[in-house]
Each structure stands twice: as structure tokens, then as C-alpha cells.
Chain A
Amino acid sequence: MKWFQWLTNISPRKPTPDNNGSTNNNSDKSSITGELPDTAISLHLNENLRQLRSILGVQNDIIYRQIRLGNNRATPACIIYIDGLVDTAVLIDDIIQSLIHLSTQGDFAPGKTNLGNFIVESALPASNVAEVATIPKLVASLLSGGVILLVDGMHPAVAIDIRKHAERAIGEPPSEVLVRGPREGFTETLKTNMTLIRRRIRHPKLRFSTISIGRVTATDVAMVYIEGITSQDLIAEVQQRLERIDIDGILESGYLEELIEDNPYSPFPTIHHTERPDRVAASLLEGQVVVLTDGSPFALIMPAQLASFLNSPEDYYERYILTTAVRQLRWVAFAISLFLPSLYIAITTFHQEMIPPRLLVSISAYRQGLPFSTLIEALMMEFVFEVLREAGVRLPRAIGQAVSIAGALVIGQSAVQAGIVSPLMVIIVAATGIASFTIPSYSMGITIRYLRFPLMLFAGAFGLYGITIAFIMLVIHVVNLRSFGVPYLAPLAPLHTGGLKDVVIRAPWWGMKKRPTEYGKPDLIRQAPELKPGRFHNNGQREQQT
């Protein structure tokens, strides 16, 4: 073992916690991202307004609505909100109305000590109302869509959450299309996404723990798990890694993924992402932790294993026998998309004796007079394929398809006719490309597509021998990967036979009695012992087999 010790030592390590990180934060912050001084709210309305104006500046979209409360209209007050972030109808109809109504009832006098309490408890017809004591909190609540009520002589201020902004409707997730399965996908709104999960898991132990990340953007990030199913260690680890993040902005879940993953130098994704609430629910039930990011329809699922990137949610909705076949098909396609071009190069330039004679003759015939070596030909065609694919992805959908089809046809066909590439190479490239699209995860697909290129170089330089070397290096790397401490190849390596029910095959639901053990095992049994359907007597009781 010692011989290989040094190999493992140079493999990417877990990021070591930065000791200086938390203490030095303030000193290296620029003035823009610096925290506001923690001043309390003054009793004087004007003083508060002056402070706010100096912090926020004079902005068109920040509305300061001055009103007067009390019997004699003696108490000045101000409602502050950001136009477009709040539900104006509710604001006018309920809040402003009732405040004005309140002033006429006579039980309201300036100088009452718990004025804030009174307003919160008795006067405001809104559900989500909170008291805010300091200016920074007030600003934060204002910027996230709250309505601030400042009353002269009242301390603290009141923040009412009636946020409402334009949002996309829930639609079918475009990156993960299923034939059979729910059509709902996450949207960019955290609240909606949380609702979508809640609707699927109606259990009191479902937990959302929300923190705000981003010095400037202050993005809401929600960590989701089911207490009792997810191991405490995992929850703590995810929490710790999230809290470590100190960055100016989080605009997409991809930011988080890169900041909390175990192996920053690996091309392989070690955190899964999905747009599907059903997939998230399934992961939660298996004891994984999900992280939702406000502003992104992609939920992060962690820990993630290689096998899970080859699974589609549909695997669990379609009948298990066919799903097993489909999964095996996917593993084969996975191997094809990784190895086919390099195998072709290696065999046709080094190991021609492995080709059946007739095929060798026809490959040779098609390659007569071609200007480039097989390696160059393959690299060229794969490059063109990637270009076409990329062009197709970035273009508007309608044009995109046309470009990719026309490009493939025109370039493929004419390249062959012009005698630049052989038709066999076109077949190889097309087969590889199509095979790579069977990988359900886009991130994994792209990883595999790009790993082909170094493999092709190895194959072109050293033949099958080179492929073997490259494959060994790849395996050493993948075996070393961890996702939140869980081996990336689990349950294949280290082998856990119970987990094999859900890797290359998919056992029927009544056969998967336990949750995966990789993520910790607080509560393993997920179903009653005798769920396999069979012949039933009346009352749904299974016939006793003797």
C-alpha cells in the first residue's frame, strides 16, 4: 500500500477550512460591501428618514408615503417600500386603509410605549408582520420586498412582508424532459420552489433552513432536508460549507456548487442539480440534502454519485424490467461516448489485425486518398460536432435545430464527398455524439464529451495501450473523488451489494426496502416488509404460502 501512498497524496484534497477567513473579513472588505453601522432606529421619524436617504440615496423606485396618524392627525408616519416588489393592491386596500381607519378610532395615542406591538398585534391586516429595531435590518427587509412602517415616536419600526413580483409560471423543466412523470419544474422564485417541495412531502420533519449569502446580492439560499432521514453529520457539513461562503454575489446555483464541492480540480460534477421537484423529493427521501437558490430554477442535490448522473427520474416511474434494460443501454452509451472514437483510432492505426478482413478492406478503401491521418480526422470531426452542438444550444430553439441538422448533414456529407474525411469517421462521430446525449445529466454529458479528446490523443499516440493507460488514470481519479465524504463510485467501489439494486439494474419498488446507506443511516427501512404484490384474498390480505 505504501507504494501508492504518494499517489493518493497528490490527488485533489478537500478544501481546508480557512482559519483567517472569518476574522479578517472586515478588514479586506471594500466600502461598497461593508456592513452598515448597527445603529438603532431613532424615535424621531425625520431622523430615521434622513438616515435611510443617506444609505439608499434618492431613488425613483423607493416610495416614501407620508401619512399622519392619530385623532388629531398629529403623529407623522411614513410607509416605505420599493415599487414593483410589493403587492400594491394589498398595500393600498389593507394597510394604508386600516392605518387611516385606525387613526379615527381613538384608542391610539402618540407616546404609548408599546405602539409597535399594538400596531403589529391589533392594527395591521397582514399576515407576515415583524418588528425591526435597527437600521441595517430595516434596509435589508426593505430591499427584499418588505413594506416599512415608521411612526414618529414609535420604536421599533414595523416591517410587513407583502412581497409580490413578476415571476415565471411553473412549466415543464426544459433540461429534464420526461415522458412519464410530473410536468412541473422549479421556477426562479425560492418561495414557489419551497412550496413545490412542501406539496410533495407533507411531513412535519421536512426542514427548510434559509440563509442569506452574498455581500451585495444577499441571495436567499435554502437548505432542505428531512430530519430523521438525513444524517446530522451531513446536515452540519452542508451548513458549514454554505456558511463559509463569503462572496459578493450568488446569481445561480452553479456558484454555490463550485464553492462547496469536494474536488475543485475534477472535471466530474460531484453535486447533482435538477429542475424537477419530484427528483428533489426522491433525494430527500433517500437522505440527501437539497440546496435551493433564490433566482435559480436549479436545485443542488448532495452528495451525488457517478451512478446517479446516469439515472433519470423516469427510471422510477416506468416499469422496472424495462427500466433495467434502459439503464444498461445508458451505461453502454456512456462507454461508447467516452471510448468509441479513441477505440476506432487505436484499432485502425495500431491493431489492424483486430478488424475483420472484409471490414478492414472497406475501411482501407474509404480512406484511399484522404489527406489526414485518422487521429487528425477524428479530432477535426469531433471538433466540428462540438461546434455544431454548441451553436445549436445557444441559438434560439427554432434556428438551433435547423443549424445542427443542416450543419451535420452538409458538413458531414460534403466533407465525405470532398474527400476530406471518410464516411466511417462520420458514422463514428455521429454515433458517439448521439450516445452522449443519452446521459440524462447535462453536466455529466459534457464532461464525458470533453474527456474524449485526451483519450483520442492517447489512442493516436499509443494505441490501445494508450487508452488503457488513460483509462487507468481516469479510474484512479474517479475512485479518489468524494462527494461530501461519500465515495464517488459508491456503491460500486467500495462495493455495497445492497446498493447495487439501483445502479445498473433498477429493482422493483417492493424490492428496495432500505434507503441507500451511503448518506448515513438514521432511518433505513422505507417500507413495510411484505409489499410484493401477489395473489390476494379478500381484504387485501396476501394468501399464506405454505
Chain B
Amino acid sequence: MIKRLLVICLVFFMILVLAGCWDSREVEELGIISGIAIEAAENNRVRVVFQYINTSVQSGQGSGGSQAALQKPYRNQVTEGDTFYDALKQLPNETIARRFFAHSEILIISEQFARERGITEISDYMDRDPQFRGNAFLLVGRGNDMVSLMDTAGTISSTPTHRLNNILRHQDLTSTYGLLRLADFNRVLDSGYEQPFTGLVEQHPSLSRPDAPGHGLLDGQVPEPAYDLAINGTALFKEDKMVGWLNQEESRGLLWLRGEVKQGRIKFSLPDDNEGIILTEIHQAKTRVKPYINDGEVIMDVKIDVKSVVEEVTGRTPLDMADDLERLEEAQNQAVLKEVEAALNIAQRQLQVDAFGFGEIVHRRYPRQWQEMKYNWADIFPGLQVQVEVKSTILHTNLTSHSASVRAETKD
């Protein structure tokens, strides 16, 4: 009986020891890193910005009281090293022990770094460290000044990374840039023929800030932030190195071809009517890509189905008749087509990177032929014939079919 009890105790003890998760850490001892930015430093070194959340400021209850109000809700610690891990180890020992990456939401790599050295040498550590999450957003920062970019706090969000995260979470509202999370980026890289892409972040002077210093401010009021953060396009990669980028319209073209457009505006004007601009909002978008092999030549047949709603008409275009809407739909088709063509022009013809995932689509449709194709996909892809057909449907024109001036004209 006692022997058995001993055996049981021993077994349980072994279970506990073998699993090896001992490290209990109190929450307040964690240095929560909310985001990381990386830029190229002199002598081929890496400069890393670690953004810590200053938890004592975050909730007014902290022990500091009024003193805490003067502190920033985040702290940036910048180190340099030969590699990412080397730079990490340059942090003060106390900080290294406290580091907690599990809530790092954003990883920004500077454009210069991404073009010259690539992403892989950084993401290698992230793949190995169990704390890192694959669902962190990967971004490319325009230029090479990540230190100041990581210091661009907003008014609504407390830290620059929260601010970015809030922007990125609503990517589908505009659908003007492509975005990948770290794990997806690595997955695309792993495929060998599809090429990754991701959002391109930059800071620009804020329009909300008055020119005269102190203008419109009450005493002691914090002014609007001097800089805004914006994702103004999509960085394109060949393997892990950035090779070029798409602006917002071209990025939309990329998203059309990938079937990732959710919402967003389409801006166009009627061909024989120079009077104004028409803006529609996408309500539903569907893309079907079907590959064909014709005499050994691969043709991509793309059908894009857009359902949209008229939001704004600046000219005097009448929209009451079905004919009017048809003209509008035709014009919208052309606008979408233009975006798609622009994306194809840069990515397929100039940079020759398959960011569209065409390789995977061909693979799925023609698995046998793909076995031969995949080795020279890089050669096939630039010459790929892409047939795009857009079908627009204007669902309605919102509350009115005319602007006021047109109504006045028809009264006469």
C-alpha cells in the first residue's frame, strides 16, 4: 500500500518535472514589447527599436499619480548589433530578462534594410523564439528612420504600435494595400514560386496641426501629433528582399487579382462627360481566377464581379434611367481594369514577381503539368497571358438619383 502510494507520488513528480514549464513570472515583471522596428545601421549592423509598454502609466491607478501623467505610455529602447539577436542582447541585462514578445503586434523592417539585406535574417529568430507570434503584422517602413517612426504616437491610441495596429485592422475598409502577417509571409516565402508582399508604412506631417505654434490650444493642452502614420502602398518582394512597390491604385489591382478586396472606393469619371468625378463604394467583390493551358501556354482567365453603390457625383450626370447606370457600370469596369492592368504592369512585367499567387492556382488546377512548370515558373510567369473581365453592378444610388442642381434643371 505504502509502496504504491510512493510509486504514485513518484509518477506524478516525474510528470511534473518532465514537462519542464517552470518559469512562473509575475505579470508586473514583464517588459511587454508591443512592437519591433529594424533599420540598417552603419558598418552593416542592425539597429533595433524595441517598443515597451509603460504599464505604470497605462491605467491612471498606477502608483505614480500625477507624475505618471508626464510619462509617455511607451518607451523605445534602441540597440545596435551585428544581428537581431546580437542587438537584443545589447539591452540592459535587466531588460533582457523581462522581455516578453508574445504581444508584439507589429514588426517593421525599414525599406533600406529590406532591399539590401532581406527579411529572413530577422524572421529567423522570430521563428525560433516560442514567445513570438506568427500573427504579428509585418510592415516595411519607408526610408530608414525607424526610430522616429516608432515615436509617432497618436491621440486615440496610446502607443505607435497600437496606432498602427488599429490602422491595419481596418485594412478592408479601403483595400488599398496588401498586408501579410509574419507567419503568412514565411509561408509564401516557403512556397518557392509565389512572392510575398506587405504594407508600406510611412510617416508624413499631419494636416490637422495648425502652422502657428500654439494656435487654437488651451493652456496645457497637448497639441495634435505632428506626424501621421499611413500605409501608402504595398512593398513587393523577390524571395525575401524587397524589389519595388505599388502605390494605392496599383495595390488595389493586386488585391483584385488575389480576390482580397472587401470594401473601398472606386474613383472614375464617365468617358464622354468631363464634368465631374464619380465615387462608388464597393459592397461586394468576387474574383475567380481560372487557368487554361493552351498549346503549352498558360492563360489566366480572371473574372471580377463588383457590386457597388454610388456615393458621390460631382458633375451633373443624371442617374435615373437604367441606361445611365449601365454607362456608369461600364465606366467602373474600365476603372477596375485600369487598376488591375497597373498592378500587372509593375509586378508581372517590370519586377517579374508572382505576388498574385498565380503559381498556386495553376498548381491546383493542373497538378501534373505543374510538376514540370514549377522549376521554371520564374520564366513562365512574366509572359503569362492574363485575360481580365470585369462585371460591375451598381446596386443603388443611395437616397437620391440626382444632385440638387440636376433636380433644378429638370423642373423647368
User: A residues within 8 Å of B by Cβ?
Assistant: 6-7, 9-10, 348-350, 352-353, 357, 360-370, 373-374, 419, 423, 460-463, 465-466, 469, 473
In the assembled complex, the CB of B208 is this many whole angstroms from the nearest CB of chain A, namely: 25
What CA separation (Å) do A361 and B103 show in the bound complex?
A: 10
When the two chains form the complex, which single residue of A9, A360, A461, A469 contacts B27, counting CB atoms closer than 8 Å? A360
- Determine if B8 and A10 form an interchain contact, defined as CB atoms under 8 angstroms apart: yes
- Determine if B15 and A469 form an interchain contact, defined as CB atoms under 8 angstroms apart: yes
What CA separation (Å) do A9 and B1 show in the bound complex?
A: 9
In the assembled complex, the CB of B58 is this many whole angstroms from the nearest CB of chain A, namely: 5
What CA separation (Å) do A363 and B30 show in the bound complex?
A: 11
When the two chains form the complex, which single residue of B4, B15, B56, B57 contacts A9, counting CB atoms closer than 8 Å? B4
User: What would 6 A/B residue contacts be, using CB atoms closer than 8 Å?
Assistant: A361-B58, A365-B56, A365-B58, A368-B63, A463-B24, A465-B21
Q: Does B28 have its Cβ within 8 Å of any Cβ on chain A?
A: yes
> Which 5 pairs across A and B sit closest by C-beta, in order of nearness?
A353-B102, A367-B28, A364-B55, A365-B59, A349-B24
In the assembled complex, the CB of B27 is this many whole angstroms from the nearest CB of chain A, namely: 5
Residues of B within 8 A of A466 (CB): 16
Residues of A within 8 A of B15 (CB): 469
User: B residues within 8 Å of A by Cβ?
Assistant: 1, 4-5, 7-8, 12, 15-16, 19, 21-28, 30, 32, 34, 53, 55-59, 61-63, 100, 102-103, 105, 131, 133
- Determine if B32 and A364 form an interchain contact, defined as CB atoms under 8 angstroms apart: yes
- Determine if A360 and B103 form an interchain contact, defined as CB atoms under 8 angstroms apart: yes
In the assembled complex, the CB of A144 is this many whole angstroms from the nearest CB of chain B, namely: 45
Q: With A10-B4, A353-B133 as known contacts, state yes or no: A373 contacts B26, CB within 8 Å.
A: yes
- Determine if A352 and B102 form an interchain contact, defined as CB atoms under 8 angstroms apart: yes
- Determine if A367 and B103 form an interchain contact, defined as CB atoms under 8 angstroms apart: no
Other A-B pairs beyond A353-B133, A360-B103, A423-B61, 18, CB < 8 Å: A348-B27, A349-B26, A350-B25, A360-B30, A361-B58, A362-B59, A364-B55, A367-B26, A368-B55, A368-B56, A368-B62, A370-B28, A460-B24, A461-B24, A462-B22, A465-B16, A465-B21, A469-B16
- Determine if B55 and A352 form an interchain contact, defined as CB atoms under 8 angstroms apart: no
- Determine if A363 and B12 form an interchain contact, defined as CB atoms under 8 angstroms apart: no
Q: Identify the interface centre among B7, B27, B100, B131: most chain A CB within 10 Å of its CB.
A: B27
What CA separation (Å) do A360 and B104 show in the bound complex?
A: 13
- Determine if A360 and B32 form an interchain contact, defined as CB atoms under 8 angstroms apart: yes
Residues of A within 8 A of B61 (CB): 365-366, 423
Residues of B within 8 A of A374 (CB): 26-27
- Determine if B103 and A350 form an interchain contact, defined as CB atoms under 8 angstroms apart: no
What CA separation (Å) do A462 and B102 show in the bound complex?
A: 20
What CA separation (Å) do A465 and B17 show in the bound complex?
A: 11
In the assembled complex, the CB of B356 is this many whole angstroms from the nearest CB of chain A, namely: 33
Residues of A within 8 A of B58 (CB): 361-362, 364-365
Residues of A within 8 A of B30 (CB): 352, 360, 364
Q: Identify the interface centre among A9, A465, A473: most chain B CB within 10 Å of its CB.
A: A465
Q: With A465-B21, A469-B12 as known contacts, state yes or no: A352 contacts B63, CB within 8 Å.
A: no
- Determine if A10 and B1 form an interchain contact, defined as CB atoms under 8 angstroms apart: yes
Residues of A within 8 A of B34 (CB): 357
Residues of B within 8 A of A367 (CB): 26-28
Residues of A within 8 A of B25 (CB): 349-350, 352
- Determine if A357 and B105 form an interchain contact, defined as CB atoms under 8 angstroms apart: yes
In the assembled complex, the CB of B1 is this many whole angstroms from the nearest CB of chain A, namely: 7
Q: Identify the interface centre among A6, A353, A370, A466: most chain B CB within 10 Å of its CB.
A: A353
- Determine if B16 and A369 form an interchain contact, defined as CB atoms under 8 angstroms apart: no
Q: Identify the interface centre among A353, A368, A370, A465: most chain B CB within 10 Å of its CB.
A: A368
Minimal Cβ-Cβ distance residue in B for A9: B4
- Determine if B4 and A353 form an interchain contact, defined as CB atoms under 8 angstroms apart: no
Residues of A within 8 A of B26 (CB): 348-349, 367, 373-374
What CA separation (Å) do A357 and B19 show in the bound complex?
A: 27
Minimal Cβ-Cβ distance residue in B for A366: B61
